[in-house]
Amino acid sequence: MWDIRGWKNLTVHDDPPLVVAKQEFLSWLAEVPESNRSAWEERLKSGLDHPHFSVRLELYLHHYFRSNGWHIDIEPDMLGSPNKPDFRVSHGKDYILVEAKAVLEEKSTAQQTQRLRQLADNLTNKLSRYIIIQPLSDLPTSLSTRKIRNQVEQHAKTLTDEVLEFDLRDVHLKTPYSLKVVILPKGSEPDEAGGVGGTVSDVHTLAIGRRIRDALEQKAGKYGDIDVPFLIAVYGKGEFPVKTRDEVDALFGDRVFLVPTKGRGAVTESRKPNGFFTSMQDGTHRHEQVSAVLFYRFKWLDDNHVHQIHIYHNPFAQRIINTNLFPEVQQMVPHDDEKMIWINGEPE
């Protein structure tokens, strides 16, 4: 198998779609001020994934704001902080600080997720109960899933008519590891097909949502009090692409399934209060300084490619971003102080 990383993602062969994409990023690089261009070019042509994909996100953002009439300051100084945001953009009297973050799923993480996903599917079929397995740490590469399977099966025998949730912690060859396991009762099915178990277990979904949330946490607290709106832009790139449900899990909390204690009522879905937007500390929402989160997607088509963005506005933000500043961009916004709705369409 080819080792395709970094710049090779755009230069591995001369097929027209790849050539067009490469030339587009190079043309956007030419728009970057000369004082920053050489450093960005070095990252774009890096043989490693993280610098390559992170600068592709920054190139897109720079091109987007520039094309839409924004003034752009790259890595401006911040009063009272040694950290510098990627951009400060302004349009008339509106200012926004922008941080960009590429979230890459490393190969080892993808492999362990795939192992657990297959295990959850096998246990679901064997026990006739929906199984969710969430990795809470990296797993030792030599760890056999047989050991995990036996432990899950033992727990499954203790309660058959209730939701069972537990953390599985153990040590393999002197390396500690931990997992979260959720077992739904027999005969219980989530309202949304494919929510857990079966051929579409939630191992991947939970892991990706957590990775996005962790990445946002890294960016959110870098500057302390901010007196202008703050936007974090995310590019999820890895073995498994980030989907809308992963984004919602990250921002509004992990999904949990509520099973009636009596009778055979429907299983309903709720969310844990651990979302990036919804989590609280000392009676206030932890990330009120973040106004919104933008997600960027690069999508290959049959003979071309497209760039797509959509924005989730923080319903608890101290400083909001005017939705009119992003015309035609799909945006999730607060509505009637009770729910969030999409405007300008909805992402796939």
- pLDDT tens digits for 280-312? 999 999 999 999 999 999 998 888 899 999 999
Note whether 201 and 212 are same-domain residues.
Answer: no
Note whether 160 and 251 are same-domain residues.
Answer: no
Q: Span 25-39, mean pLDDT? A: 97
Interatomic CA distance for residues 223 and 265, integer angstroms: 48
Note whether 91 and 168 are same-domain residues.
Answer: no
Which strands, in side-by-side order, build the sheet including 175-183? 131-135, 175-183, 164-172
Confidence of residue 113 (pLDDT cuts 50, 70, 90): low
The number of beta carbons lying within 10 Å of the beta carbon of residue 170 is 14
Range 40-67 burial, b when 16+ CB lie within 10 A, else e: beebbbbeebbbbbbbbbbbbbbbbbee
Query: Which one is predicted more confidently, 42 or 108?
Result: 42
> Residue 296 domain-assigned?
yes
> Residue 138 domain-assigned?
yes
Note whether 120 and 177 are same-domain residues.
Answer: yes
Note whether 246 and 326 are same-domain residues.
Answer: yes
Q: Span 253-274, mean pLDDT? A: 76
Which contiguous run of DSSP H or E holds residue 73? strand 71-74
Please give the backbone phi and psi of residue 154, each rounded to the nearest 5 degrees, phi first. -65, -45
Which residues have a Cβ under 8 Å from the Cβ of 227 and sit 6 or more positions away? 319
Note whether 194 and 232 are same-domain residues.
Answer: no
> Residue 3 domain-assigned?
no
pLDDT number for residue 192: 36
Give the residue from 164, 188, 205 where a domain finishes.
205
Confidence of residue 336 (pLDDT cuts 50, 70, 90): confident
Number of domains in the chain: 2
Cβ atoms of 234 and 101 within 8 Å: the answer is yes
Residue range(s) defining the domain that contains residue 198 = 107-205
> Residue 41 domain-assigned?
yes
Note whether 185 and 40 are same-domain residues.
Answer: no
Where on the phi/psi map is residue 283: left (φ > 0), alpha (ψ -120 to 50), or beta?
left
Give the residue from 151, 171, 205 where a domain finishes.
205
pLDDT number for residue 295: 97
> Residue 1 domain-assigned?
no
Q: 120: burial class by Cβ within 10 Å (0-12, 13-18, 19+)?
A: buried
> Residue 348 domain-assigned?
no
- Assigned token pair, 10: 């755009």
Note whether 222 and 296 are same-domain residues.
Answer: yes
Tell which residue, 206, 245, 250, 249, has the closest CA to residue 232.
Answer: 250
Note whether 329 and 241 are same-domain residues.
Answer: yes
Cβ atoms of 117 and 107 within 8 Å: the answer is no
Interatomic CA distance for residues 177 and 284, integer angstroms: 33
Give the residue from 159, 179, 205 where a domain finishes.
205
Classify 231 as helix, strand or coil: strand
Q: Span 68-94, mean pLDDT? A: 92
Q: 80: burial class by Cβ within 10 Å (0-12, 13-18, 19+)?
A: exposed
Note whether 274 and 127 are same-domain residues.
Answer: no
> Residue 2 domain-assigned?
no
Cβ atoms of 293 and 311 within 8 Å: the answer is yes
Write down the H helix ranges in 157-202.
Answer: none
Mean of per-residue pLDDT scores for the chain: 83
Confidence of residue 186 (pLDDT cuts 50, 70, 90): low
Query: Which one is predicted more confidently, 21 or 13?
Result: 21
pLDDT in tens, 124-183: 888 877 787 866 666 777 777 888 888 888 888 776 665 677 778 888 877 777 777 877
Confidence of residue 341 (pLDDT cuts 50, 70, 90): very high
Note whether 177 and 231 are same-domain residues.
Answer: no
- pTM for this predicted structure: 0.73
Cβ atoms of 277 and 316 within 8 Å: the answer is yes
Tell which residue, 131, 247, 265, 248, has the closest CA to residue 191.
Answer: 265
Note whether 323 and 221 are same-domain residues.
Answer: yes
Residue 218 above 90 pLDDT?
no
- Assigned token pair, 304: 């071309």
